[in-house]
Amino acid sequence: MLLERFLRYVKIDTQSDEESSTSPSTKKQYDLLNLLNEELDNLGVKSSLDEYGRLYAKVEGNKAYTNIGLCAHVDTALECSGKDVKPQVVKDYDLKDIPLGNSGLSLSPNEFAKLKELKGKTLITTDGTTLLGADDKAGVAIIMEVLENYLKIETKNRRGLSILFTPDEEIGRGPEHFDPVKYGCEFAYTIDGSEPEAIEIENFNAKSASIKIKGKSIHPGDAKGVMINASLVLAEFMNLLPKEMIPSKTSGREGFNHVVSISGDVENASAHYILRNHDSKILSKQVEDFENIKSKLEKEYPGSLISLQIADQYRNMAEVIAKHPECKNHIEKVFNRLGFKYVYKPIRGGTDGATFSFKGVPCPNLGTGSYNHHGRYEFAVLEEMEKMVQIGLEIFKL
């Protein structure tokens, strides 16, 4: 059953680790990967868990059609512990505040408006001491449940199903070692969003910028005309960037420059930024801003050394999907066949699927029926997860 399956998965600690250079980044992600491998085995499905912690499985369908893929990630976010998760199941929700264990925290419809729509539903919450890990174990549970039901359909009446479970999505390394041939599908869907009605085919284009400034240090008493304080030059650099283009002042398809960290003294100062925009042309302009400010300050402070390093992170899958619209047309057909409403939502972030798209497998993102990811207020809605199983299954029906 979906609920038991989900509860079984969230109790396993699978947090990834940004500091690690191994793949997967943490051994404990195998605790869930091995269990999934075993469960696939028990269902009689051929699977292979590779040396980097990528778990692939494939089931045959009607040979006249290409395979379609489903994908979810097993790791959980870094912002909050995923150890000893003690999920609470709230049946027949009455729209009141839900106390999260003995933590003193509570989930309130006044704070989280989504709850107001959920009268009578079954909610799964945390006990206030950890995250829930519905991101993305709701996705994992939905895919396993789709698979169980899929196997009951006659082979000739279904399309082939390719499954992929990845580690390390939360540290941006999910698509590492991705093997499109092994995956063996024409297109795929990640099950890693929130609302079941949302279809996500656009995400940010993403770059990072690293600024390093070398100043000139001298005793402050003798500094006139000589000292270049690297920290002050950095502050000026930051102030010259567009003031409105920051995460707290943007939404929808508006991009931003976000300073993640700064450090500095008189001799050295540095800052790390992430740059995001759905429109790659505007993103190029954001990069130009950084380059222009660098030249301006170099002229103003001869004798200082300013280095600027821009790196590519991920790209907007929309450009791939525009060229290969089958994945979009197919999922629209699925929603229409079921009589479900859908809405397109631009992702203000990235997904594994964005990178898969550029590696030859166009891959929109679908919902999980879970909300408030990455923290103690995370919760899942059982009925919405069930709806996702229905949608997931319909994808493969001829």
Q: Which is nearer to Zn ion, 24 or 215 (CB)?
A: 24
| Min CB(352)–Zn ion separation in Å | 8
* Peptide linkage before 136 cis (omega within 30 of 0): yes
| Min CB(100)–Zn ion separation in Å | 21
13 counts as binding Zn ion under rule CB under 5 A? no
| Min CB(136)–Zn ion separation in Å | 4
Q: Which is nearer to Zn ion, 109 or 172 (CB)?
A: 172
| Min CB(169)–Zn ion separation in Å | 6
**CA dihedral sign of residues 296, 301, 302, 303:** negative
Distance CA 331, CA 185 (A): 15
135 counts as binding Zn ion under rule CB under 5 A? yes
Paired sense of beta strands 343-344 and 198-200, if any: parallel
Closest to 40 measured CA to CA, from 163, 184, 183, 158:
163
Q: Are 78 and 170 in contact (CB under 8 A)?
A: yes
| Number of residues near Zn ion (by CB under 5 A) | 3
Q: Which is nearer to Zn ion, 273 or 379 (CB)?
A: 379
Distance CA 178, CA 168 (A): 12
Catalytic residue among 13, 17, 75, 352: 75
Name the segment binding Zn ion (CB under 5 A); options: 26-34, 91-99, 132-140, 290-298.
132-140
**Residue 138 tokens, joined:** 């709701």
Q: Which is nearer to Zn ion, 276 or 373 (CB)?
A: 373
Name the segment binding Zn ion (CB under 5 A); options: 9-17, 130-138, 230-238, 361-369.
130-138
Name the segment binding Zn ion (CB under 5 A); options: 1-9, 42-50, 134-142, 314-322.
134-142
Which residue, chain included where needed, has tokens 């567009």?
242
168 counts as binding Zn ion under rule CB under 5 A? no
Q: Which is nearer to Zn ion, 58 or 73 (CB)?
A: 73
Q: Are 13 and 387 in contact (CB under 8 A)?
A: no
Q: Which is nearer to Zn ion, 192 or 200 (CB)?
A: 192
| Min CB(368)–Zn ion separation in Å | 8
| Min CB(198)–Zn ion separation in Å | 14
Q: Which is nearer to Zn ion, 191 or 271 (CB)?
A: 191
| Min CB(377)–Zn ion separation in Å | 16
Name the segment binding Zn ion (CB under 5 A); options: 87-95, 188-196, 296-304, 382-390.
188-196
Q: Where are the alpha helices (DSSP H) in 103-218?
A: 134-150, 180-183
Name the segment binding Zn ion (CB under 5 A); options: 153-161, 184-192, 233-241, 322-330.
184-192
Long-range contacts of 329-337 (CB under 8 A, 24+ apart): 330/68, 330/187, 330/395, 331/189, 331/199, 331/364, 331/366, 331/395, 332/199, 334/391, 334/394, 334/395, 335/199, 335/391, 337/394
With CB under 5 A as the contact rule, the residue among 17, 136, 195, 200 that binds Zn ion is 136
Q: Distance of CA 332 to CAs 149, 304, 396, Å?
A: 21, 56, 13
DSSP 191: E
169 is annotated as an active-site residue: yes
Q: Which is nearer to Zn ion, 137 or 278 (CB)?
A: 137
Paired sense of beta strands 98-99 and 205-214, if any: unpaired
Which residue, chain included where needed, has tokens 């009446």?
157
| Min CB(139)–Zn ion separation in Å | 7
With CB under 5 A as the contact rule, the residue among 75, 145, 192, 200 that binds Zn ion is 192
Q: Distance of CA 7 to CAs 12, 71, 160, 287, Å?
A: 9, 19, 28, 45
Q: Are 142 and 19 in contact (CB under 8 A)?
A: no
CA dihedral of 191, 327, 39, 16, whole degrees rounded to 10: -40
Catalytic residue among 135, 136, 145, 169: 169
Which amino acids are annotated catalytic?
75, 169
By CB under 5 A, name the binding residues for Zn ion: 135-136, 192
